[in-house]
Amino acid sequence: MHFDSGDTAWVLGSAALVLFMTPGLALFYGGMVRSKNVLAMMVQNLGTIAVVSVVWALVSYSLAFGPDAGGGFIGSLRLAGLAHPNAPVPGLHLTVPPLAFCAFQMMFAVITAALLTGTGADRMRFHGFLLFAAIWSIVVYAPIAHWVFSPEGWLYKRGVLDFAGGNVVEIDSGASALALAFVLGRRRGWPRDVMAPHSLPLTVVGAGILWFGWFGFNAGSALAAGTLSSQAFVSTQLAACTGLLGWLVVEKWRTGHATTLGAASGAVAGLVAITPACGFVNSMAAMLIGLLGGITGVLAVSVKFRFRYDDSLDVVGVHGACGVVGTLLVGVLAQQGAGGHLFAQQALAVVVTMAWAFGLTYVVAQLVERTVGLRVSPEIEVEGLDTAIHAESAYDFGNVRAGRIGG
């Protein structure tokens, strides 16, 4: 087999860029939680990288991209354990080695599961969440990836367009987050007590890493280095910018202040919205999608207060809502095929993805909660997860804690 070295270099580099998004997410979320829980947030993200990567190699890659096992619903286990690493990926005409594609998609599985740490902030057990993430990536992520990303998947065959994961990553994580929020329940004191971010500078650095990594996520999804990846790259940048501006304008109008957290969140909202569309629309449409993403995000994060579910760091509001907006807008703004038929397919994908992700996540989370436990005890929640679970504190500002080795 002959592969294009330029394409291969770009896809491998993009895989590394997408991996970097998860430590970025750890900073983005870590800054938003209270100082007693920042390390727990970060180690949950690191743990997710490890667990989901291993599960991906063992089974989920094969379930997502292996030869279809029937009806476009799930892949077979022929590629389990990364067997047949040089066999062509069914349906795809790649100019890169199949393992490069596998590595790139592995990082998508990682970041999607990692997003769920944001919903469970301040109250999830470490090993409970890792078990949840392992099962979740098999029963929720892999099937949806097969339906939408694999050319043998049933939604792909219906013509659904999802360039880089509006369905597979964003709507999937958003709907799953809602179910997880219901199973976990609200944090003690929410929404009465102040649970303000403890370090927005961390959040801004994290948002910057996410933004940077998103170029690999979106432009890398072209799976080749050329005109398509270039368009996706430019669309990604423009949508992040209009998303940021859209969020700030609405925020200024509603609360009287343009905030740092709003700027960081708006950029992410714009990036989420352009994810399904970045290779299918022109630059002006990308700006519009990003703008609508930013506006959607700033309005959607208030919904949880009305319906009283504690989606702590707004995975539903940002990834779910903006993912839906971007996915539907592909049906309106795609350069090829836009119209009623495509819009209907996009809407079908939205509904089916939400239903599967919400339903199965609810079951998996309940299963874990009732066996090993997913939520910490009230004592641990009050003390803070960092010292209670991990025996560490993030910040030591002085020497008044008078300790000695060995206690």
Partner 1 sequence: MRLVTAVIKPFKLDDVKSALETFGVHGLTVSEVNGYGRQKGHTEVYRGAEYTVDFVPKVRLDVVVSDDDAADVVDVIVKSAATGQIGDGKVWTTPVDELVRVRTGERGPDAL
The residues binding partner 1 (CB under 8 A) are 191, 194, 196-197, 251, 254-255, 257, 259, 261-262, 265, 298, 301-302, 305, 314
Smallest separation, CB 260 to partner 1 (Å): 10
Nearer to partner 1, 81 or 191 (CB): 191
The C-alpha atoms of residue 153 and residue 272 are separated, in whole angstroms, by: 23
Cβ neighbours of 87 (radius 10 Å): 12
CB nearer partner 1, residue 127 or residue 257 = 257
Q: In the numeric block, which tokens belong to residue 351?
A: 């509904």
- Residue closer to partner 1 by CB (options 180, 298) is 298
Q: Is 124 helix (H, G, I), strand (E, B) or coil?
A: strand
Among candidate residues 123, 185, 193, 33, the one with its CA nearest the CA of residue 378:
123
Q: How far is the CB of 105 from partner 1 (least distance, A)?
A: 31
CA distances from 21 to 84, 155, 218, 291 (A): 29, 27, 12, 22
Q: Which residues, including other chains, have CB under 8 Å from residue 383's CB and lie 6 or more apart?
A: 36
Q: Which is nearer to partner 1, 59 or 298 (CB)?
A: 298
Quote the tokens at residue 383: 């003390």
Q: How far is the CB of 36 from partner 1 (least distance, A)?
A: 17
Residue among 165 and 297 whose Cβ is closer to partner 1: 297
From the CB of 256, what's the least distance to partner 1, in Å?
A: 8
CB of 255 to partner 1, least distance (A): 5
- 3-state DSSP of 311-379: CCCCHHHHHHHHHHHHHHHHHHHCCCCCCHHHHHHHHHHHHHHHHHHHHHHHHHHHHHHHCCCCECCHH
List helix spans (H) across 33-141: 38-55, 61-65, 98-115, 126-136
d(CA 32, CA 117): 12
- Tokens 């008044």 map to which residue? 400
Least Å distance, CB 229 to partner 1, is 33
CB of 135 to partner 1, least distance (A): 30
Q: How far is the CB of 359 from partner 1 (least distance, A)?
A: 28
Token reading at 364: 């998996």
Encoding tokens for residue 59? 């089974």
Contact 296, 170 (CB under 8 A): no
Q: Which is nearer to partner 1, 188 or 257 (CB)?
A: 257
Cβ-based nearer residue to partner 1, 70 or 397 = 397
Q: Which is nearer to partner 1, 262 or 276 (CB)?
A: 262
